[in-house]
Amino acid sequence: MSLLETPIEYLKGVGPNRGELLRKELSIHKYGDLLNLFPNRYIDRTRYFKINQLQNNNSEVQIIGKIINIKTVEQKRGKRLVATFIDDTGEMELVWFQGHKWIREGLKINEVYVIFGKVSQFGSTFNMAHPDMELLAEHKANFRSAMQPVYPSTEKLNTKGISNRVVNKLMQQLFLETHTLFSETLPNYLIEELKLITKSEALFNIHFPKNQDLLSKAQFRLKFEELFFIQLQLITKNLIRKHKIKGHPFEKVGENFNNFYKNYLPFDLTNAQKRVIKEIRNDLGSNAQMNRLLQGDVGSGKTIVALLAMLIAKDNDFQSCLMAPTEILATQHFNGVTDLAKELNINIKILTGSTKTSDRKIIYEELENGSLDILIGTHALLEDKVQFKNLGLAIIDEQHRFGVEQRSKLWKKNEIPPHILVMTATPIPRTLAMSLYGDLDISVIDELPAGRKPIQTVHRYDSNRLKVWKFLKDEIAKGRQVYIVYPLIQESEKMDYKDLMDGYESISRDFPLPHYSISIVHGQMKPADKDEEMRRFSEGKTNIMIATTVIEVGVNVPNASVMVIESAERFGLSQLHQLRGRVGRGAEQSYCILMTGFKLSEDSKTRMETMVRTNDGFEISEVDLKLRGPGDIMGKQQSGVLNLQIADIIKDKDILQLARHHAIKLLKNDAPMEKPEHTTLRKVFIELSKKKNIWNYIS
């Protein structure tokens, strides 16, 4: 067993109690975990202040001096311990609010100390609460660095006396016990090519940096290594899947595909759509299982791509299914696909939670005897009763709304796993896609169908409301329709409902019957009533649809040309972009109006400016990633996705690209990592793969 596998309580200065705390609070079980507890930031400890130089600016300072007396002072709640601390320029107070007994026992009068902490001023006296203290002799003896590390901590650790200084001491002890000899993990040629410092140097300088330059080199080396091994894992999985998991080779592109493509395509495909269909055809024709992510902005035409893929399956005598996260979206796909394929002789059915028992029976029978070609539906497709005769292609829409277990159920519907196409209208920034979906092949539809005009987006304050309403009336007079959306903040459904109802009342006054008619949709309505209101709007019987974000996905009304988003500052960027995509589906010019109050945070301002500046979903997702961080973007199921120890997907995207490039290059030359120069690398790789880390569960 290597020294780094030693349980943490055996480290001098830890013991059973502290060991238990470190395990619970920071998941530090053994020496290696402590070694990989990297500092959050560093404090410059090269400078020493004199008491007469102190300023009341809440900064952290270091002072040399001595304690001349100690007293306990009564206060409203409990007591505080106060020591008078002097140097040759003046005096100040050191204060402790808890732990008096052991602090008092440890303090030495008239000995020279180095103290460190935040100073504040009360009257003319400066004080420092709970300072870090060490005797000057110890301070000189410790191997310390000018850049003092500050480690991640928790409230519990601080109250139990495991302060930053204690962690620092434990880290010093760890380096003494391990003699700072850490085995190298990367091949020599890579270290030379990238001019990296060694693993041992990097670990020493991340914890005890001698200067800023060495700290930067240590950070670069450790970030590169972390991202490099993740990319090796993802790309290896992709290669293994292509070699091991045989797919059904769809050998021909036959009658159904060709007939539809030549005679029934409702519009010319964009170059992007043609390119994506070609990529899908190549995958389906190979012997490996397809595992492809199709990204395309709202309205870029993913449905027709999905249908063409399903027609290839049908030409090879296989069934297909398309799974969507909500009933509205499933129904929309069903209507879209049935309409496109109406001239073809194809059996298409829909299965959702509200499908009648009598219809279900027919569906189950036709699936098993193979006469049902395409099944579209919601989670209902995952039920055990749904058994296909030969499922060849599974398409999943808005995949981040499905948990991993749900997806794996689809895989098991067949002896040979079906080909998988995952579609999303939530543009995932390239950096995140490379890390999250590194083992999926990625296709992007990055142009809108011809004849679509870009949506014009403006930001207006509540005080401009009259002008906005006049604009809506002008649009309605031209025969257009309007959405007005209110935010939905789950914690306060009552409040949301009230906002929506207040809005509804004032809009009803400003847009009175019989000239105007209004639909309303919100979460507290029965599904049947919701569908009825949606139907009235899509048939043009109402001019205005007032709604909460239920309409974010899955309402397609080409005649709707204006989207008004109320309290737009309460929405995230990707949501604003999704909502905007509900208009601009016809040939007319469409508009999106973001309404906000005057008081906006910096983030909200950035969101409004981004929306007004660009319609590009990928650019918007990059800004969103910077504002929110990767966890939020992927939704709840995957918020723990990027528990990286030192790298940051957003700030280090250049290092990520470099790591991916070198991982691909290495695997091209030596996929099993069997060459002598890769011996260590292979060992580390196997060890890492044993850990049940998130990367093994993503897609």
Q: Is residue 61 located within the same domain as residue 92? A: yes
| Per-residue confidence (pLDDT) for residue 196, from 0 to 100 | 96
CA 193 to chain centre: 32
Q: How many CA atoms lie within 13 A of 676 on its CB side?
A: 0
| Per-residue confidence (pLDDT) for residue 670, from 0 to 100 | 92
Question: Are 45 and 148 within 8 A, CB to CB?
Answer: yes
Residue 109 lies in a domain: yes
Residue 391 lies in a domain: no
Q: Which two tokens stand for residue 6?
A: 């030693």
Q: Is residue 12 located within the same domain as residue 135? A: no
Rg (C-alpha) for the chain, rounded Å, is 32
Dump pLDDT digits (tens) for 301-312: 888 999 999 999
Q: Is residue 66 located within the same domain as residue 31? A: no
Q: Is residue 139 located within the same domain as residue 7? A: no
Band of residue 402 on the pLDDT scale cut at 50, 70, 90: low
Count CB-CB contacts under 10 A for residue 651: 11
CATH number at residue 83: 2.40.50.140
Q: Which two tokens stand for residue 58?
A: 């809440």
Alpha-carbon distance of 386 to 365, in angstroms, equals: 9
For residues 531-561, b (16+ Cβ closer than 10 Å) or e, as one string? bebbeebbeeebbbbbbbbbbbbbbebebbb
Alpha-carbon distance of 350 to 210, in angstroms, equals: 66
Task: Assess whether pLDDT exceeds 60 at residue 234.
Answer: yes
Across the range 144-171, mean pLDDT stands at: 86
| Per-residue confidence (pLDDT) for residue 237, from 0 to 100 | 81
Which amino acid would we find at residue 30?
A: K
Residue 413 lies in a domain: no
Most confident residue range from 131-140, 368-377, 626-635: 368-377
Domain boundary among 614, 634, 663: 614
Range of the domain at 14: 3-35
Residue 338 lies in a domain: no
Q: Among all chains, which residue has been given the structure tokens 């809009």?
A: 507
Q: Is residue 603 located within the same domain as residue 520? A: yes
Q: Which two tokens stand for residue 113?
A: 């100390």
Task: Assess whether pLDDT exceeds 60 at residue 31.
Answer: yes
- What does the angle CA 86 – CA 88 – CA 92 come to, to the nearest 5 degrees? 25
Dump pLDDT digits (tens) for 440-451: 788 888 887 777
Residue 259 lies in a domain: no
Band of residue 2 on the pLDDT scale cut at 50, 70, 90: confident
Pairing of strands 560-565, 112-122: unpaired
| Per-residue confidence (pLDDT) for residue 495, from 0 to 100 | 64
Percent residues over pLDDT 70 in the chain: 91
Most confident residue range from 238-252, 300-314, 542-556, 682-696: 300-314
CATH number at residue 493: 3.40.50.300
Dump pLDDT digits (tens) for 476-487: 999 999 999 988
| Per-residue confidence (pLDDT) for residue 143, from 0 to 100 | 63
Which amino acid would we find at residue 109?
A: I
| Per-residue confidence (pLDDT) for residue 431, from 0 to 100 | 66
Band of residue 574 on the pLDDT scale cut at 50, 70, 90: confident
DSSP 354: T
Across the range 566-591, mean pLDDT stands at: 88
Alpha-carbon distance of 423 to 668, in angstroms, equals: 28
| Total count of domains within the chain | 3
Dump pLDDT digits (tens) for 96-106: 988 888 889 88
Mean pLDDT (the chain, rounded): 86
Q: Is residue 598 located within the same domain as residue 494? A: yes
Count CB-CB contacts under 10 A for residue 435: 26
Across the range 213-223, mean pLDDT stands at: 94
- What does the angle CA 251 – CA 378 – CA 546 come to, to the nearest 5 degrees? 125
Alpha-carbon distance of 94 to 11, in angstroms, equals: 31
Contacts of residue 26, Cβ cutoff 8 Å, sequence gap at least 6 = 33, 37, 152, 153, 154, 157
Task: Assess whether pLDDT exceeds 70 at residue 492.
Answer: no
Q: Is residue 488 located within the same domain as residue 607? A: yes
Dump pLDDT digits (tens) for 248-289: 889 899 999 999 999 999 888 999 999 999 999 999 998 888
Alpha-carbon distance of 680 to 191, in angstroms, equals: 13
| Per-residue confidence (pLDDT) for residue 634, from 0 to 100 | 46
| Per-residue confidence (pLDDT) for residue 682, from 0 to 100 | 94
Residue 103 lies in a domain: yes
Q: Among all chains, which residue has been given the structure tokens 């019957």?
A: 513
| Per-residue confidence (pLDDT) for residue 613, from 0 to 100 | 95
| Per-residue confidence (pLDDT) for residue 699, from 0 to 100 | 38
Give, for 617, the enclosing helix (H) or strand (E). Answer: helix 617-628
Where does 621-688 show beta strands of DSSP type E?
A: none
Question: Who has greater pLDDT, 403 or 127?
Answer: 127
| Per-residue confidence (pLDDT) for residue 526, from 0 to 100 | 84
Which is nearest to 555 in space by CA: 574, 590, 591, 530? Answer: 530
Q: Is residue 81 located within the same domain as residue 31? A: no
| Per-residue confidence (pLDDT) for residue 633, from 0 to 100 | 46
Pairing of strands 456-461, 518-521: unpaired
Task: Assess whether pLDDT exceeds 80 at residue 246.
Answer: no
Dump pLDDT digits (tens) for 655-681: 988 999 999 999 999 999 999 999 999
- What does the angle CA 336 – CA 337 – CA 339 come to, to the nearest 5 degrees? 70
Q: Is residue 482 located within the same domain as residue 571? A: yes
Question: Who has greater pLDDT, 369 or 147?
Answer: 369
Question: Who has greater pLDDT, 430 or 297?
Answer: 297
Residue 553 lies in a domain: yes
Task: Assess whether pLDDT exceeds 60 at residue 45.
Answer: yes
Q: Is the pTM of this model over 0.75?
A: no
From 487-501, 512-526, 640-654, the region with the lowest mean pLDDT: 487-501
Task: Assess whether pLDDT exceeds 50 at residue 371.
Answer: yes
Contacts of residue 510, Cβ cutoff 8 Å, sequence gap at least 6 = 469
Task: Assess whether pLDDT exceeds 60 at residue 552.
Answer: no
Domain boundary among 79, 112, 143: 143
Percent residues over pLDDT 90 in the chain: 52
DSSP 7: B
Domain boundary among 572, 589, 614: 614
Query: Hey, which residues does 322 pair with through a beta bridge?
Result: 376, 395
Q: Is residue 12 located within the same domain as residue 90? A: no
For residues 224-247, b (16+ Cβ closer than 10 Å) or e, as one string? bbbbbbbbbbbbbbbbebbeeeeb
Task: Assess whether pLDDT exceeds 60 at residue 491.
Answer: no
Q: Is residue 494 located within the same domain as residue 607? A: yes
First CA to last CA across the chain, in angstroms? 34
Q: Is residue 587 located within the same domain as residue 467? A: yes
Alpha-carbon distance of 239 to 109, in angstroms, equals: 68
Residue 137 lies in a domain: yes
Question: Are 72 and 80 within 8 A, CB to CB?
Answer: yes
